[in-house]
Amino acid sequence: MTQYLIMCRSLTKAQSSVKLLERAGITAAVVKAPQNLSSGGCGYAVSLHRKFDEAVSLLSKNNLLNGKLFRRMESGEYAEVFR
């Protein structure tokens, strides 16, 4: 199953994002972001496997989308998702 990461500016923003997604029936979790994806060093992300487009749209509508989006490839590397 494909994993997506939505980078967040802070742990609290990531938590707010997950709460919002959960209320909309989208399963997501807060994870520590891989170091190479955190531009400022030490960051958190929302991890999800399904309903990525729906999640991005919902977060955007609620001003919670401030970071880059990534998809984990089979190699284990992350590729940025552009919208």
Residues that bind another protein (CB under 8 A): 9-13, 15-16, 19, 30-32, 40-44
Q: Of 53 and 62, which CB lies nearer to another protein in the complex structure?
A: 62
78: left (phi over 0), alpha (psi -120 to 50) or beta: beta
Give the residue among 48, 18, 21, 46 at the shortest CA–CA distance from 32: 46
**Each residue of 55-73: b (16+ CB within 10 Å) or e?**
bbebbeeeebbebbbbebe
Min. distance of Cβ 51 from another protein in angstroms? 22
Min. distance of Cβ 65 from another protein in angstroms? 14
Min. distance of Cβ 53 from another protein in angstroms? 25
Q: Of 34 and 51, which CB lies nearer to another protein in the complex structure?
A: 34
